[in-house]
Structure 1
Amino acid sequence: MPQMLIPDQRAVIDRRALVAAIDDAVEDKGAGNARGAIVTLLREALAASRAELGQRLAASPAAGHEITHGHAFLIDQIIRVVHDHVVGDLYPVANRSSGERLALLAVGGYGRGEMCPHSDVDIAFITPAKPTAWCEQVIEAILYFLWDLGLTVGHSSRSLDEMVRQAKADLTIRTAILESRYLWGDREVYQMASDRFWGDVVPGSEAQFTAEKLAERDARHKRMGDSRYVVEPNVKDGKGGLRDLQTLYWIGKYNYRVKSAAELVDKGLFTREEYRSFRRAEGFLLAVRSHLHSIAGRGEDRLTFDLQREVARRMHYADRPGKSAVERFMQFYFLQAQHVGNLTGVFLAQMQEQALAPKRREGLLQRFRTRKSRFVEGYPLQAGKLAAPDDNWFKADPVRLVEIYALAEREGLEIHPETIRLIRRDAGLIQSEVRKDERANAAFLDVLCGRRDPETVLRWMNESGVFGRFVPDFGKVGGQMQFDMYHHYTVDEHTIRAIGLLSRIERGEEREEHPLATRILPGLKYRRVLYVATLLHDIAKGRGGDHSLLGAEVALKLCPRLGLTAPETKLVSWLVAKHLLMSATAFKRDLSDPVTIRKFIEEVDEAEKLAQLTVLTIVDIRAVGPGIWNSWKRQLLAELYNYADEMLRADNDADLQEKRLWTKRAEVAELLGTKKHLLAELDDRFDRNYWLQEPADIIAINLAHYAAARDVHQVLTIHTEYYPARGATLITVMADDHPGLFFRIAGAINLAGANVIDARIHTTRVGKAVDNFLVQDPLGKPFREEGQLARLKKSIEDALAGRIELVPKLAARPLPRSRAETFTVESAVLFDNEASDRFTVVEVTASDRPALLNRLTRAMFEQSLIINSAHITQYGERAVDTFYVTDLIGHKIWSKDRLARVEQALLGAIAAGEPKPAKVAAAEQVAK
Structure 2
Amino acid sequence: MSDRFDAIPSRRAIIDRRVLADTLAALDGDTGALRGMAGALLKPALEAGRAEVARRLAEHPQRGREATQAQAFLIDQIVRLAFDFITHRLYPTNNPTSSERLTIAAVGGYGRAEMAPFSDVDIGFLTPWKQTGWTEQVIESMLYLLWDLGLKVGQSSRSLDEMVRMAKSDLTIRTALLEARYVWGDQALYDEAAARFDAEVVAGTARTFVSEKLAERDARHKRMGDSRYVVEPNIKEGKGGLRDLHTLFWIGKYVHRVRSVTELVDKGLLTKEELRRFQKAENFLLAVRCHLHIVAGRAEDRLTFDVQPEIARRMQYNDRPGRSAVERFMQHYFLTAKTVGDLTGVFLAHLDDSMAPKGRRFTLSGFRRSPRKLSGFVLDRGRLALPSEDWFQKDPVRLIEMFALADLHNVEIHPQAMRIANRDARLITAKIRNDPRANALFMDVLTSPRDPETVLRWMNEATVFGRFVPDFGRVVAQMQFDMYHHYTVDEHSIRAIGLLSRIEHGELKQDHPLATTIMQQIVSRRVLYVSVLLHDIAKGRGGDHSVLGAEVAMKLCPRLGMTPAETETVAWLVSKHLIMSATAFKRDLSDFKTIIDFAEQVQSPERLRLLLALTIVDIRAVGPGVWNGWKRQLLGDLYQSTEEVLRLGHKQTGRAERVSNKQQTLEEALGWDQARFDIYRKRLPESYWIAEPDDIIASNARVITEAGDRSLHVAAQVYPARGATLVTVYASDHPGLFYRLAGAIHLAGGSIIDARIHTTRNGMALDNFLVQDPFGRPFDDEGRLKRLEVGIEDALANRNRLNDRLAARPLARPRADAFEIAPNVLIDNKASNRYTVLEVHARDRPALLNALAYALFQSRVTISSAHIATYGERAVDTFYVTDLIGDKIEGTARLKALEKRLLDASGIPATLAPSPEGEKAVA
TM bucket normalised to smaller: over 0.9
Equivalent residue number for residue 908 of structure 1: 904
CA distance in 1 between partners of 2:199 and 2:894 (Å)? 86
Give the counterpart letter for 1:786 in structure 2.
Answer: E
CA distance in 1 between partners of 2:878 and 2:853 (Å)? 11
1:800-819 correspondence to structure 2 within 5 Å: 800-815=796-811, 817-819=813-815
Using the TM superposition, give the Cα deviation of residue 280 of structure 1 relative to its aligned residue in structure 2, in angstroms. Answer: 0.7
CA distance in 2 between partners of 1:320 and 1:915 (Å)? 39
Equivalent residue number for residue 629 of structure 2: 631
Equivalent residue number for residue 879 of structure 2: 883
Aligned equivalent of 1:719, options 707, 715, 722: 715
Deviations 1:513-560 (A, max 9, x none): 111111111111110111110011011111111011011111111111
Give the counterpart letter for 2:307 in structure 1.
Answer: L
CA distance in 2 between partners of 1:379 and 1:48 (Å)? 61
Using the TM superposition, give the Cα deviation of residue 784 of structure 1 relative to its aligned residue in structure 2, in angstroms. Answer: 2.0
8 Å Cα contact 2:733/2:764 also seen in 1: yes
Equivalent residue number for residue 114 of structure 1: 114
Using the TM superposition, give the Cα deviation of residue 2 of structure 1 relative to its aligned residue in structure 2, in angstroms. Answer: 2.2
Using the TM superposition, give the Cα deviation of residue 715 of structure 1 relative to its aligned residue in structure 2, in angstroms. Answer: 1.8
Give the counterpart letter for 1:256 in structure 2.
Answer: H
Equivalent residue number for residue 545 of structure 2: 547
Equivalent residue number for residue 34 of structure 2: 34
1:198-237 correspondence to structure 2 within 5 Å: 198-237=198-237
Using the TM superposition, give the Cα deviation of residue 666 of structure 1 relative to its aligned residue in structure 2, in angstroms. Answer: 3.2
Distance 1:151 1:839, change over 3 A: same
Using the TM superposition, give the Cα deviation of residue 621 of structure 1 relative to its aligned residue in structure 2, in angstroms. Answer: 0.1
Equivalent residue number for residue 266 of structure 2: 266
Equivalent residue number for residue 313 of structure 2: 313
Deviations 1:128-182 (A, max 9, x none): 2112221111111111111110101111111111111111111111111111111
Distance 1:468 1:915, change over 3 A: farther
CA distance in 2 between partners of 1:68 and 1:576 (Å)? 47
CA distance in 2 between partners of 1:910 and 1:707 (Å)? 38
Deviations 1:709-746 (A, max 9, x none): 34xx2221212111112111111111221111111111
Tell me whether 343-352 or 614-623 shows the greater mean CA deviation. 343-352
Give the counterpart letter for 2:204 in structure 1.
Answer: G
CA distance in 1 between partners of 2:475 and 2:845 (Å)? 31
Equivalent residue number for residue 12 of structure 1: 14
Aligned equivalent of 1:684, options 682, 685, 691: 682
8 Å Cα contact 1:473/1:539 also seen in 2: yes
Deviations 1:585-623 (A, max 9, x none): 000000011100111011100111111000000000000
8 Å Cα contact 1:498/1:622 also seen in 2: yes
Deviations 1:61-104 (A, max 9, x none): 01001000000011111111111111111121122211111111
Distance 1:608 1:516, change over 3 A: same
CA distance in 2 between partners of 1:95 and 1:804 (Å)? 77
Deviations 1:450-504 (A, max 9, x none): 1111111111111111111111111111111111111111111111100000001
8 Å Cα contact 1:410/1:451 also seen in 2: no
Secondary structure, in 3 states, of the residue corresponding to 1:83? helix
Using the TM superposition, give the Cα deviation of residue 30 of structure 1 relative to its aligned residue in structure 2, in angstroms. Answer: 5.6
Give the counterpart letter for 1:518 in structure 2.
Answer: T
Aligned equivalent of 2:729, options 727, 730, 733: 733
Aligned pair 1:70/2:70, yes or no?
A: yes
Equivalent residue number for residue 917 of structure 2: none
CA distance in 2 between partners of 1:591 and 1:720 (Å)? 23
CA distance in 2 between partners of 1:478 and 1:915 (Å)? 45
Equivalent residue number for residue 658 of structure 1: 656
Equivalent residue number for residue 195 of structure 2: 195
Aligned equivalent of 1:411, options 403, 409, 412: 409
Using the TM superposition, give the Cα deviation of residue 415 of structure 1 relative to its aligned residue in structure 2, in angstroms. Answer: 0.7
8 Å Cα contact 2:842/2:907 also seen in 1: no
Aligned pair 1:820/2:816, yes or no?
A: yes
Give the counterpart letter for 1:736 in structure 2.
Answer: S
Equivalent residue number for residue 924 of structure 1: none
Tell me whether 691-700 or 228-237 shows the greater mean CA deviation. 691-700
Aligned pair 1:149/2:149, yes or no?
A: yes
1:827-866 correspondence to structure 2 within 5 Å: 827-866=823-862
1:251-650 correspondence to structure 2 within 5 Å: 251-357=251-357, 376-650=374-648
8 Å Cα contact 1:759/1:871 also seen in 2: yes
CA distance in 2 between partners of 1:494 and 1:915 (Å)? 40
Using the TM superposition, give the Cα deviation of residue 915 of structure 1 relative to its aligned residue in structure 2, in angstroms. Answer: 10
Secondary structure, in 3 states, of the residue corresponding to 2:627? coil
Secondary structure, in 3 states, of the residue corresponding to 1:193? helix
Using the TM superposition, give the Cα deviation of residue 652 of structure 1 relative to its aligned residue in structure 2, in angstroms. Answer: 5.5
Aligned pair 1:772/2:768, yes or no?
A: yes
Secondary structure, in 3 states, of the residue corresponding to 1:235? coil
Equivalent residue number for residue 699 of structure 1: 697
Q: Which 5+ residue runs of structure 1 have no aligned equivalent?
A: 362-371, 917-928
Equivalent residue number for residue 672 of structure 1: 670
Segments of 4+ moved more than 4 angstroms: 357-361, 372-375, 673-678
Give the counterpart letter for 1:2 in structure 2.
Answer: R
Equivalent residue number for residue 894 of structure 2: 898
CA distance in 2 between partners of 1:675 and 1:87 (Å)? 97
Aligned pair 1:184/2:184, yes or no?
A: yes
Q: Which 5+ residue runs of structure 2 have no aligned equivalent?
A: 362-369, 913-923
Distance 1:675 1:635, change over 3 A: farther
8 Å Cα contact 1:386/1:415 also seen in 2: yes
CA distance in 2 between partners of 1:490 and 1:801 (Å)? 49
Equivalent residue number for residue 785 of structure 1: 781
Equivalent residue number for residue 754 of structure 2: 758
Deviations 1:753-805 (A, max 9, x none): 11111111111112111111111111111112111111111111111112122
Give the counterpart letter for 2:712 in structure 1.
Answer: L
Distance 1:268 1:915, change over 3 A: farther
Deviations 1:232-270 (A, max 9, x none): 111111111101100000011001111111111111111
Secondary structure, in 3 states, of the residue corresponding to 1:510? coil
CA distance in 2 between partners of 1:282 and 1:670 (Å)? 70
8 Å Cα contact 2:106/2:182 also seen in 1: yes
8 Å Cα contact 1:678/1:704 also seen in 2: no
Secondary structure, in 3 states, of the residue corresponding to 1:906? helix
The RMSD of aligned alpha carbons is 1.8
8 Å Cα contact 1:670/1:676 also seen in 2: no
8 Å Cα contact 1:445/1:562 also seen in 2: yes
Aligned equivalent of 1:744, options 740, 753, 759: 740
Using the TM superposition, give the Cα deviation of residue 373 of structure 1 relative to its aligned residue in structure 2, in angstroms. Answer: 10
Using the TM superposition, give the Cα deviation of residue 808 of structure 1 relative to its aligned residue in structure 2, in angstroms. Answer: 1.3
Distance 1:157 1:708, change over 3 A: closer
Using the TM superposition, give the Cα deviation of residue 850 of structure 1 relative to its aligned residue in structure 2, in angstroms. Answer: 1.1
* Percent identical: 60
Tell me whether 837-846 or 218-227 shows the greater mean CA deviation. 218-227
CA distance in 2 between partners of 1:676 and 1:465 (Å)? 71
Give the counterpart letter for 1:158 in structure 2.
Answer: R
CA distance in 2 between partners of 1:356 and 1:220 (Å)? 25
CA distance in 2 between partners of 1:480 and 1:785 (Å)? 41
Using the TM superposition, give the Cα deviation of residue 360 of structure 1 relative to its aligned residue in structure 2, in angstroms. Answer: 14
8 Å Cα contact 1:318/1:325 also seen in 2: yes
8 Å Cα contact 2:596/2:650 also seen in 1: no
Q: TM-score, normalised by structure 1?
A: 0.95
Secondary structure, in 3 states, of the residue corresponding to 1:34? helix
Secondary structure, in 3 states, of the residue corresponding to 1:744? helix
Give the counterpart letter for 2:457 in structure 1.
Answer: R
Tell me whether 30-39 or 248-257 shows the greater mean CA deviation. 30-39
Distance 1:411 1:14, change over 3 A: same
CA distance in 1 between partners of 2:674 and 2:274 (Å)? 74
8 Å Cα contact 2:360/2:381 also seen in 1: no
8 Å Cα contact 2:270/2:347 also seen in 1: yes
CA distance in 2 between partners of 1:168 and 1:285 (Å)? 31
Deviations 1:104-144 (A, max 9, x none): 11111111111111111111111121122211111111111
CA distance in 2 between partners of 1:738 and 1:360 (Å)? 78
Deviations 1:280-317 (A, max 9, x none): 11000000000011112211111111111111010001
CA distance in 2 between partners of 1:909 and 1:407 (Å)? 58
Equivalent residue number for residue 923 of structure 1: none
CA distance in 1 between partners of 2:404 and 2:670 (Å)? 56
Give the counterpart letter for 1:252 in structure 2.
Answer: G
